[in-house]
Amino acid sequence: MAGKAVEKRRPEVDPRDEPSAAWGWHGSFPKATRIAGWVSAIILLVMIKGNHENNTENVWLVGLAAFLVLLLVLDIRKQRTAWRK
């Protein structure tokens, strides 16, 4: 019975391909993912203070933090304009 109800709600999800669809959950954790992204970016920037011999590590830390922030800002923008599509 649950399989028929899932098929009615989400015809694009096949319970054989996605076992979690059989018990009603088929999604992600968007809020926790965003929080983890911001925390990771901050941690990367805090790691700049350390015992580095040269600035190669700093370039990588800042670059990765900037990339994470860019992805998070694009996600915020996509979330705000999702209703327009």
State the pTM of this model: 0.64
**Buried/exposed 40-62: b ≥16 CB within 10 Å, e otherwise:** ebeebbeeeeeeeeeeeeeeebe
The domain locations on the chain are 30-84
Encode the chain (85 residues) as per-residue pLDDT tens digits: 555 554 555 556 666 666 665 566 656 678 889 999 999 999 999 999 988 888 899 999 999 999 999 999 999 888 877 766 5
What pLDDT is stored for residue 81 in this prediction? 78
d(Cα 6, Cα 12) in Å, to the nearest integer? 10
